[in-house]
Amino acid sequence: MKLPHPIPYQGSKRNLADQILRYFPDEFYRLIEPFAGSAAISVASAFYCKANRFILNDVNQPLIALWNEIINNPTQIIKKYYDIWNGQIGNEEEFYYRVRTKFNETKQPEYLLFLLAKCVKAAVRYNALGAFNQSPDKRRLGRNPQTMRNDILQVSQLLKNKVELYSTDYSSILDKATEYDLIYMDPPYQGTGINGGFNYAGSIDFDDFIISLYSLNKKDIPFILSFDGRTENKTYGRPLPDGLNLTRIEINAGRSTQATLLNRKEYTYEAIYLSPALLKKIDTKKIKNDTGSPAWDDTLLTVGFNLRSKNQKLKIKNQKSKIKNQK
């Protein structure tokens, strides 16, 4: 069965969800997503029975209003999407711009759903005045209402009565977390720079964010952070301080779209960071890669899935033993 994903969203972690979920502890109280977006990790956690209670937050208010409709009023939003989607037939482009104007005037969640389903690359883009200004993808009608219906119903079933929704700055959400929760953070820009930088509804101040991470460590609160990424030649995102004591793991995120367009075989890798409190709660020996073999190698500084060739691993090991011998 396919993972449901009702909100099309550029930067969604849906395709990486199963790789990220491998690092979840067996038990925790709530999964908290302070930068929820399309909440791919929460949906996947509910789908694979990894979590049973959730906090979803995003600074984008209409997006959280949309989440509320999807989870708590699924039949209404399904009907509204159906009507809007059918309304475009025969006059697609002009209709899109009309919906976009209506959304900017009213902030109604059904308009946002249609815009995301139909706009270029499902990319939320806001101008300086906070108006949604992304253009339509003229080659597509946007997700078919039948597929949308199935995804909405499934997600509503998975999340109903299990979610607290908020629309505020991430820092207030971190204040709610305790050592029994698990936080998954996917803040804007850093990890997504690979795709050219997105213009989400909000942003973060790097230094404040780092201070928040130190504070989570101090309170022994487990977290996973998606933060940076790289293609074979280029790294995106600012380095995190060593003092945070995070374990960096690289995940193969597949072929880079840009490289594919240029007919080059280039892969992109996204990094996730595990906090020290999380590391204490997981049994690293149980973590398996795609082929089912053990994936955690304590002798390597960075643990990678499908990442390093045997040669690269050997090089790192040799370098490490050289350093050891020099001491």
On the CB side of 108, how many CA atoms lie within 13 Å of its CA?
Answer: 15
Which of residues 200 and 269 has its CB atom nearest to ligand SAM in the complex? 200
Which of residues 32 and 78 has its CB atom nearest to ligand SAM in the complex? 32
Would you say 142 and 114 are in contact if contact means Cβ atoms under 8 Å apart? Answer: yes
Residue 188 Cβ vs ligand SAM, minimum distance, rounded to whole Å: 4
Residue 200 Cβ vs ligand SAM, minimum distance, rounded to whole Å: 4
Q: Which residues touch 282 (CB under 8 Å, ≥6 apart)?
A: 23, 24, 25, 274
13 three-state secondary structure: coil
Cα dihedral 279→283→286→288 (10° resolution)? 0
Going by their DSSP bridges, the two strands 247-255 and 182-185 should be labelled as unpaired
Per CB under 6 A, contacts with ligand SAM among 141-170 are 169-170
Q: Does 35 bind ligand SAM (CB under 6 A)?
A: yes
Q: Does 237 bind ligand SAM (CB under 6 A)?
A: no
Question: x/- binding map, residues 178-207, to ligand SAM, per CB under 6 A?
Answer: --------xxx---x-------xxxxx---
Residue 93 Cβ vs ligand SAM, minimum distance, rounded to whole Å: 26
Nearest-Å Rg of the Cα atoms of the chain is: 21
Binding part of the chain for ligand SAM, among 30-38, 154-162, 212-220, 301-309 by CB under 6 A, reads 30-38
Which of residues 130 and 241 has its CB atom nearest to ligand SAM in the complex? 130
Q: Partners of 185 in the beta sheet?
A: 225
Q: Does 37 bind ligand SAM (CB under 6 A)?
A: yes
Q: CA–CA separation, 226 vs 232, rounded Å?
A: 18
Size of the site for ligand SAM (CB under 6 A): 24
Q: Does 270 bind ligand SAM (CB under 6 A)?
A: no
Q: Does 137 bind ligand SAM (CB under 6 A)?
A: no
- Of 22, 150, 66, which is closest to residue 56 (Cα–Cα)? 66
Residue 1 Cβ vs ligand SAM, minimum distance, rounded to whole Å: 19
Q: Which of 4, 6, 8, 9 binds ligand SAM (CB under 6 A)?
A: 9
Which of residues 108 and 199 has its CB atom nearest to ligand SAM in the complex? 199
150 three-state secondary structure: helix
Q: Which of 4, 6, 38, 78 binds ligand SAM (CB under 6 A)?
A: 38
Would you say 152 and 43 are in contact if contact means Cβ atoms under 8 Å apart? Answer: no
Which of residues 196 and 294 has its CB atom nearest to ligand SAM in the complex? 196
Per CB under 6 A, contacts with ligand SAM among 46-65 are 57-60
Report how many helices (DSSP H) and strands (DSSP E) the chain contains, helices first. 12, 9
Residue 59 Cβ vs ligand SAM, minimum distance, rounded to whole Å: 4
Length of the chain: 327
DSSP alpha helices (H): ranges in the chain? 17-21, 40-47, 61-72, 74-87, 92-106, 109-118, 145-159, 170-174, 206-218, 257-261, 276-281, 310-326
C-alpha triplet 169, 185, 135: angle, nearest 5°:
70
Q: Which residues bind to ligand SAM, rule: CB under 6 A? A: 9, 11-13, 34-35, 37-38, 40, 57-60, 169-170, 186-188, 192, 200-204
